């Protein structure tokens, strides 16, 4: 049984560090593509999960600039409680600001393990964590110190980037991602943070689960596909996924069709193919290459038709997007033209 009795009752707003930690999980780890959803303010500030919730990435974020070793230990308490809980977590991550010099063996590392903390400082980390655990649980046990040391060897420490915009930029896999302004990326970061805050507003204090997969019933989740669709929508200034009208630039493709039902079938098939392409995790890099080429082509040649643009896309790009046939590609380019102009 896992009980939710330590959620932040008085803070329904996601702070920048919580949002940074979520975007770190989403786009800055080697295993980021396997994380399909982000569980908000349940087990911890943010917990990443794969599609079937078999694997969990637990993240505690702390934006306090004056973190010393003892405060680090205190801040690690929630991660440690999860380590000791009935729910198995695969990763324990502590997300924090750059530390004062003199605490680490290698000050240049932005991601490191507990072994990088100087031996002279480790006692304070253990002391802070032990005291906070006893305060929260109102008891101790004989093997507590030993368990804390085993737990600390599993924690990954991550130093946050100073700029919020960098976390959004890391999700946009364009070579020329700087063509969008810093203000654009900051606005997008704030929009994602607001989405996260709305999830935090859902109170589950006093609830409990017997299995980690039960967490889905609380609806305190942001899915990768929703965040990715938001980013794509903002990049082309349109709503790709709620567009119920036929793009005006696509009419030339269907103007000779007399059967209305045939037209509807073509449109529906195009939308299905676009959706499958956008959310196929095995085509992530290929999609961004295709998407970047189309955006650049539309901006550079606004007078060209979607079909002309499609026919000029290098074959080495289009052949990799096997989920998108010619007509669906032309439909998508039509949508992008409608969003940009």
Q: For 89-108, what is the HEC assignment? A: CCEEEEEECCCCCCCECCCC
pLDDT of residue 95: 97
Number of domains within the chain: 2
pLDDT of residue 237: 66
163 and 15, same domain (yes or no): yes
Report the pLDDT averaged over residues 183-207.
Answer: 93
- CA gap 260, 244 in Å, rounded: 15
206 and 286, same domain (yes or no): no
Instruction: Please name every residue paired with 37 in a beta bridge, in sequence order, or none if there are none.
Output: 49, 223
Instruction: Provide the pairing of β-strand 155-159 with 111-113.
Output: antiparallel
pLDDT of residue 10: 44
pLDDT of residue 197: 92
pLDDT in tens, 9-59: 445 566 899 999 999 999 999 999 999 999 999 999 999 999 999 999 999
163 and 248, same domain (yes or no): no
**Residue 325 pLDDT exceeds 90:** yes
- CA gap 132, 62 in Å, rounded: 15
pLDDT in tens, 244-267: 678 888 998 888 887 888 888 999
186 and 58, same domain (yes or no): yes
Report the pLDDT averaged over residues 119-137.
Answer: 95
**Residue 5 pLDDT exceeds 90:** no
Residue 186's pLDDT band, with cuts at 50, 70 and 90, is: very high
Which is nearest to 222 in space by CA: 1, 75, 19?
A: 19
Report the pLDDT averaged over residues 212-222.
Answer: 95
- CA gap 334, 337 in Å, rounded: 5
- CA gap 155, 92 in Å, rounded: 5
Which structural domain, as residue segments, surrounds residue 117? 2-223
> Does residue 229 belong to any structural domain of this protein?
no
59 and 36, same domain (yes or no): yes
223, 252, 284 - which closes a domain:
223
**Residue 301 pLDDT exceeds 90:** no
164, 195, 223 - which closes a domain:
223
> Does residue 231 belong to any structural domain of this protein?
no
pTM of the complete model = 0.82
* Secondary structure (3-state) at 65: coil
Q: At which residue do the structure tokens 């969008």 appear?
A: 180
Computed over its alpha carbons, how large is the radius of gyration of the chain? 24
**Residue 115 pLDDT exceeds 60:** yes
Report the pLDDT averaged over residues 299-325.
Answer: 92
Q: Give the helix/strand (H/E) hosting 61.
A: strand 56-61
223, 245, 276 - which closes a domain:
223
């Amino acid at each position: 049984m896992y009980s939710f009795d330590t959620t932040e009752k008085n803070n329904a707003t996601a702070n920048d560090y919580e949002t940074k930690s979520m975007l770190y999980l989403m786009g800055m780890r080697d295993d980021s593509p396997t994380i399909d959803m982000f569980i908000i303010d349940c087990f911890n500030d943010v917990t990443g999960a794969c599609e079937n919730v078999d694997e969990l990435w637990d993240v505690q974020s702390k934006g306090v600039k004056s973190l010393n070793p003892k405060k680090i230990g205190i801040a690690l308490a929630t991660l440690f409680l999860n380590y000791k809980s009935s729910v198995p977590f695969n990763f324990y991550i502590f997300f924090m600001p750059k530390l004062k010099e003199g605490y680490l063996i290698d000050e240049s590392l932005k991601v490191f393990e507990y072994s990088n903390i100087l031996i002279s400082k480790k006692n304070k980390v253990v002391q802070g964590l032990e005291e906070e655990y006893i305060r929260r649980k109102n008891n101790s046990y004989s093997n507590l110190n030993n368990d804390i040391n085993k737990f600390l060897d599993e924690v990954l420490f991550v130093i946050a980037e100073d700029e919020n915009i960098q976390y959004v930029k890391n999700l946009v896999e364009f070579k020329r991602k700087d063509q969008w302004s810093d203000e654009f990326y900051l606005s997008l970061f704030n929009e994602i943070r607001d989405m996260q805050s709305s999830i935090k507003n859902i109170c589950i204090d006093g609830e409990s689960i017997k299995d980690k997969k039960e967490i889905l019933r609380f609806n305190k989740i942001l899915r990768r596909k929703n965040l990715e669709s938001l980013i794509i929508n903002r990049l082309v200034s349109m709503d790709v996924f709620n567009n119920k009208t036929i793009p005006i630039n696509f009419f030339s493709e269907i103007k000779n069709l007399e059967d209305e039902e045939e037209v509807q079938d073509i449109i529906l098939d195009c939308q299905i193919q676009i959706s499958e392409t956008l959310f196929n995790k095995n085509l992530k890099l290929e999609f961004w290459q295709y998407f970047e080429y189309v955006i650049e082509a539309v901006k550079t040649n606004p007078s060209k038709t979607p079909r002309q643009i499609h026919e000029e896309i290098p074959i080495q790009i289009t052949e990799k997007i096997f989920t998108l046939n010619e007509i669906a590609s032309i439909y998508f380019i039509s949508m992008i033209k409608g969003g940009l102009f």
